């Protein structure tokens, strides 16, 4: 179930950056709590224009991946704050950042 959730999140793309939320480092945790998959994720900034759509896209992707077998709760968290250092190397290269 958790592997399916992670895989589903790799298919959720930020509409501005065109990279998936996992590669961007926006997903902090995916865990099971009772019969629910709980996702802690963040946005690039508190005023992110995608702040309403991305969590719903993540919830829908996971619900579809598990065929509605469990509940899905996507929580937007701000601690720790996101930074470009959280982007994986491949995604950073796609954005033009040099390798760390």
pLDDT in tens, 36-95: 999 999 999 888 888 889 999 999 999 999 998 899 999 999 999 999 889 999 888 888
Number of domains in the chain: 1
In this structure, what DSSP letter does residue 19 have? S
Is 13 contained in some domain? Answer: yes
CB atoms under 10 Å from CB of 9, counted, come to 23
Residue 46 belongs to what domain range? Answer: 2-94
Q: Indicate whether 22 belongs to any domain.
A: yes
Q: Which residues contact 56 (CB under 8 A, 6 or more apart)?
A: 74
- pLDDT band for position 100 (cuts 50, 70, 90): low
On the CB side of 39, CA atoms within 13 Å amount to 33
Cα radius of gyration rounded to whole Å, the chain: 13
* Entry pTM: 0.91
Coil, strand or helix: which one is 23?
coil
């Amino acid at each position: 179930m958790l592997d399916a959730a992670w895989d589903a999140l790799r298919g959720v793309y930020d509409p501005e950056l065109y990279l998936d939320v996992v590669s961007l480092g926006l997903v902090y945790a995916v865990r099971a709590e009772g019969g629910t998959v709980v996702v802690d994720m963040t946005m690039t900034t508190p005023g992110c224009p995608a702040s309403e759509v991305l969590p719903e896209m993540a919830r829908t992707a996971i619900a579809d991946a598990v065929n509605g077998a469990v509940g899905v709760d996507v929580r937007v968290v701000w601690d720790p704050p996101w930074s470009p250092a959280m982007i994986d190397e491949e995604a950073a290269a796609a954005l033009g950042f040099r390798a760390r």
